């Protein structure tokens, strides 16, 4: 049987992961299309759930597991008007709750594996969909603002400008027992994500214009305050990016599919952004395998409609749920007493805790 051709446009995490995942399918030939051959330099970290780590493991086979730092404990804190409340803790003895990795290192490993598997890489700038007419399926992993998407979107997306920025960076330290933590602060949520014994990253979401100068000093002071330490820590790779909510209602047109941040951009407060992407890739692989195993041409099938129906509900519910969570934790003096009652009930409700842990790991089974 003649192999069906799929192209994946974009060499970010979504594009590289999709390339390797779909390349494992029989009767499929995958090409990766990227602008140019360049050194990957993405000084951020990403957190994925245990189930998505196992999916990565299935795709890669043997790999250096030291690149993925496991967390067995996650603690959540809320900064009230009078004190910080530790309202929820997740803890495992044998299993890991999540894994954190450095983006640039994993991207380079993925790209190296693509070259080892002799997957064709085409260095070309794509400006219109007609440039890809030779392919049976076009998968666009071009970030959240590509103009090419306008040729696919025919219905209004769910959009929101948070008027916030995410401050990110690395922290080198000599502290003991640093665990994954999420602090809901007056200024905005701040996450601490260890990715090695002596290093962790942070993501702090604040209003635009909150920090105008002495940014490193302010971040250092805040982290030392939260960790209750006076020891010196070294912060590097400080970056910032605007925060928005964008949830596409339409995922594809004809044989062109949007994937990755172009499909859904959500607030980082719950760390679910790339987890949704990985679940998308996992489901797309399953759908394409079903049709190709039957010998059906992807181009003339309802594969993309099946993918849309499988993933749209979870992506929208998760995105809006995280938006609601972010709004709940914003400072509001009138709602402060009610919040404390709700958080106290959450801390003692084991059923809710188990449900939250399951959804964070597996997503919504819809």
Q: Each residue of 23-69: pLDDT tens digit?
A: 989 889 999 999 876 666 788 999 999 999 999 999 998 878 889 99
Angle between the N-to-C axes of helices 50-60 and 350-362, in degrees from 0 to 180, rounded to the nearest 10 = 20
Contacts 24+ apart (CB under 8 A), 185-189: 185/79, 185/222, 186/79, 186/331, 187/222, 188/164, 189/269, 189/326, 189/329
3.60.20.10, 3.40.50.150, 3.10.180.10, 3.50.50.60: which CATH number matches 4-362? 3.50.50.60
Show the tokens assigned to 51: 């189930």
CA–CA gap between residue 366 and residue 359 (Å, rounded): 11
- Percent composition of the chain: helix, strand, coil (DSSP 3-state, to 5): 40, 30, 35
Q: Where are the domains of the chain?
A: 4-362
Beta strands in the chain (DSSP E): 4-9, 28-34, 45-49, 69-71, 73-79, 84-91, 98-102, 120-123, 137-140, 158-172, 180-184, 189-196, 199-207, 234-247, 252-253, 256-258, 264-265
Digit-coded pLDDT (tens) for 173-215? 999 889 999 999 999 999 999 999 999 999 999 999 887 788 9
Phi, psi values for residue 235, rounded to 5°: -105, 130
Widest pairwise Cα distance in the chain = 69
**What string of pLDDT tens digits covers the 366 residues of the chain?**
678 999 999 999 999 999 999 998 988 999 999 987 666 678 899 999 999 999 999 999 887 888 999 999 999 999 987 788 899 999 998 899 999 999 999 999 999 999 999 999 999 999 889 999 999 999 999 988 888 888 787 677 899 999 999 999 999 999 988 999 999 999 999 999 999 999 999 999 999 988 778 899 999 999 999 999 987 899 999 999 999 999 999 999 999 999 999 999 999 999 999 999 999 999 999 999 999 999 999 998 999 999 999 999 999 999 999 999 999 999 888 888 888 889 888 878 888 888 888 888 888 865
Show the tokens assigned to 332: 């509001």
């Amino acid at each position: 049987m003649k192999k069906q051709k799929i192209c994946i446009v974009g060499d970010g995490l979504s594009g590289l992961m999709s390339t390797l995942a779909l390349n494992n399918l029989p009767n499929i030939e995958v090409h990766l299309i990227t602008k140019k051959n360049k050194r990957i330099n993405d000084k951020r970290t990403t957190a994925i759930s245990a189930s998505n780590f196992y999916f990565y493991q299935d795709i890669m086979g043997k790999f250096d597991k030291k690149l993925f730092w496991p967390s067995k404990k996650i603690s959540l804190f809320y900064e009230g008007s009078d004190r910080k409340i530790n309202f929820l803790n997740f803890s495992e003895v044998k299993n890991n709750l999540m894994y954190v990795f450095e983006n640039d290192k994993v991207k380079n490993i993925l790209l190296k594996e693509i070259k080892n598997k002799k997957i064709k890489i085409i260095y070309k700038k794509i400006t219109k969909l007609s440039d890809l007419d030779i392919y049976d399926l076009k998968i666009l992993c071009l970030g959240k603002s590509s103009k090419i998407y306008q040729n696919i979107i025919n219905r209004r997306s769910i959009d929101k400008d948070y008027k916030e920025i995410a401050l990110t960076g690395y922290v080198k330290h000599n502290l003991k027992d640093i665990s994954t933590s999420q602090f809901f602060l007056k200024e905005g949520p701040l996450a601490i994500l260890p990715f090695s014994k002596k290093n962790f990253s942070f993501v702090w979401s604040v209003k635009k214009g909150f920090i105008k100068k002495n940014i490193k000093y302010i971040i250092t002071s805040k982290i030392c305050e939260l960790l209750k330490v006076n020891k010196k820590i070294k912060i590097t790779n400080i970056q910032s990016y605007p925060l928005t909510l964008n949830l596409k209602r339409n995922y594809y047109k004809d044989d062109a599919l949007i994937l990755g941040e172009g499909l859904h951009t959500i607030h980082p407060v719950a760390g679910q952004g790339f987890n949704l992407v990985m679940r998308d890739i996992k489901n797309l692989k399953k759908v394409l395998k079903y049709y190709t195993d039957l010998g059906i041409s992807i181009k003339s099938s309802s594969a993309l409609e099946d993918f849309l129906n499988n993933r749209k509900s979870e992506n929208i519910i998760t995105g809006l749920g995280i938006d609601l969570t972010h709004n709940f934790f914003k400072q509001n003096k009138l709602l402060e007493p009610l919040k404390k009652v709700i958080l106290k009930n959450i801390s003692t409700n084991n059923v809710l805790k188990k449900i939250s842990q399951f959804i964070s790991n597996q997503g919504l089974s819809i």
